C-alpha cells in the first residue's frame, strides 16, 4: 500500500455509563498531555515480559490518576494496545477513557498482525496476535479522525517489514468550548532508522502545511533529540542507537509555525526516556505561538514506573480571550 494513502478511522462515543465532565474548564483554555504509554507494561523493556493482567490494570489506573490530578482535557497517546495478546486483549484507549469518565475515543491502527514472533526467544515471551496503535481520548467531542500511514524503513529486510509496525500520524478534530475546532496531530515516528525518521518528519510537515496550522496542536513520540543535544550515542539502555546525524526535531520546528511548550534546551529536567532514569528527550508538544500562550513540563514521580516514556504536559490559553456571546 502506498505510504500516502489516507485511511479513515472510527471515533468511539462510549455508553451512558460514561459521563462528560467539562463544565469546570476555564474559558479559552486547554490542557493536553502527550504520552507514549508503552502498552501499559511499565518501565521494563519488552524482554522482561510476559506480564500478568494485573500489571496492565494497575498501570492503566495509575495513568488515569496522573491525568485526573493534572486536570487534563485531551490525551494524545502512543503505543496503545487495541486488543493484543501481549496485554490480554484489552482495548486500552477505551479502558482509559472509561476510567476517566470521558466519552470520546479516536484511535488509529499502526500494527496489526495475526502473530508477531518477537521477542524471538523464548517463544513464551513472543507478542502473538497484535493490534496496536495511537489514541486520542477526550472530555470534548472528537470528529474527522484520519490516519496517514508512514513508510517503513527501506533498509529493513522485506520479511522483517511483514511483521513490523506501520507508523502513522493521526489527525483528529476536537470541539473545545469557547475555543472552537482544534486539530490534534498524534505522532509516533520511527525509532531505529534516522533517515526514515527524517523522511516521516518531512511528510508530516507537508500534511500539516496543507491545513490551517494556527489551530493545530502536535504531540507525541518523535524518537528524535532536541537540536542542541550533546550526548547522541552510547546510551546504556540502547547502545546501538546513534543520533549523530539526527536533525528531525530541528527540521520540524525550524519554520517557527509551532513552538515546543517545554524547551528546546537539552536539560535533564526535560528528558523523557527511559522513564525510570531519563537520559534524553524524545517526546514533544508543539503549538502555534500566535494562537496560544503556553507552558509545559515533563511529569515524573509516579510516571516513572507506569511506562518507559515520561509524559509531556501542555497548559494552553488563547492569546485573545473569546468574545462574550
262 within some domain: yes
Q: Are 65 and 305 in contact (CB under 8 A)?
A: no
304 within some domain: yes
Nearest in space to 213 (alpha carbons), one of 160, 151, 260, 258: 258
1 within some domain: no
137 within some domain: yes
324 within some domain: no
258 within some domain: yes
Q: What is the pLDDT of residues 303-313, one digit of tens each?
A: 999 999 999 99
Instruction: Calculate the alpha carbon distances from 164 to 110, 113, 154, 203 in Å.
Output: 9, 9, 12, 20
163 burial class (0-12, 13-18, 19+ CB within 10 angstroms)?
Answer: middle
Containing structural domain, residue 294: 6-318
Flag whether pLDDT at 199 surpasses 90: yes
- Residue 56, pLDDT score: 97
- Grid cell for residue 9: 478511522
193 within some domain: yes
Cα angle for residues 185, 73, 296 (degrees, 5° grid): 70
Q: Output the pTM of the full model.
A: 0.94
323 within some domain: no
CATH number at residue 81: 3.60.10.10
Q: What is the pLDDT of residues 97-110, one digit of tens each?
A: 999 999 999 999 99
Domain tally for the chain? 1
Q: What is the pLDDT of residues 228-263, one digit of tens each?
A: 999 999 999 999 999 999 999 999 999 999 999 999
Amino acid at each position: 500500500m502506498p505510504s500516502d494513502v489516507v485511511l479513515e478511522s472510527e471515533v468511539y462515543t462510549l455508553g451512558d455509563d460514561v459521563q462528560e465532565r467539562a463544565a469546570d474548564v476555564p474559558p479559552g483554555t486547554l490542557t493536553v498531555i502527550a504520552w507514549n504509554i508503552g502498552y501499559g507494561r511499565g518501565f521494563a523493556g519488552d524482554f522482561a515480559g510476559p506480564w500478568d493482567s494485573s500489571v496492565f490494570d494497575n498501570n492503566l489506573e495509575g495513568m488515569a490518576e496522573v491525568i485526573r490530578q493534572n486536570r487534563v482535557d485531551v490525551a494524545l497517546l502512543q503505543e496503545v494496545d487495541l486488543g493484543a495478546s501481549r496485554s490480554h486483549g484489552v482495548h486500552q484507549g477505551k479502558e482509559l477513557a472509561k476510567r476517566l469518565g470521558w466519552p470520546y475515543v479516536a484511535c488509529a491502527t499502526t500494527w496489526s498482525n495475526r502473530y508477531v514472533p518477537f521477542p524471538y526467544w523464548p517463544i513464551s515471551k513472543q507478542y502473538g496476535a497484535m493490534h496496536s496503535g495511537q489514541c486520542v481520548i477526550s472530555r470534548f467531542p472528537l470528529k474527522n479522525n484520519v490516519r496517514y500511514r508512514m513508510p517503513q524503513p527501506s533498509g529493513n529486510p522485506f520479511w522483517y517489514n511483514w511483521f513490523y509496525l506501520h507508523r502513522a500520524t493521526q489527525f483528529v478534530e476536537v470541539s473545545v468550548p469557547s475555543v472552537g475546532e482544534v486539530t490534534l496531530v498524534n505522532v509516533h515516528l520511527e525509532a531505529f532508522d534516522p533517515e526514515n525518521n527524517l523522511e516521516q518528519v518531512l511528510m508530516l510537515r507537508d500534511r500539516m502545511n496543507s491545513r490551517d496550522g494556527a489551530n493545530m496542536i502536535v504531540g507525541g513520540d518523535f524518537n528524535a533529540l532536541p537540536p542542541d543535544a550533546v550526548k547522541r550515542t552510547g546510551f546504556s539502555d540502547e547502545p546501538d542507537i546513534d543520533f549523530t546525524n539526527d536533525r528531525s526535531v530541528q527540521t520540524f520546528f525550524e519554520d517557527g509555525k509551532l513552538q515546543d511548550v517545554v524547551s528546546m534546551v537539552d536539560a535533564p529536567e526535560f528528558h523523557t526516556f527511559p522513564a525510570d532514569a531519563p537520559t534524553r528527550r524524545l517526546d514533544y508538544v508543539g503549538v502555534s505561538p500566535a494562537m496560544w500562550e503556553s507552558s509545559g513540563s515533563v511529569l515524573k514521580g509516579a510516571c516513572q514506573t507506569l511506562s518507559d516514556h515520561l509524559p509531556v504536559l501542555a497548559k494552553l490559553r488563547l492569546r485573545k480571550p473569546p468574545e462574550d456571546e
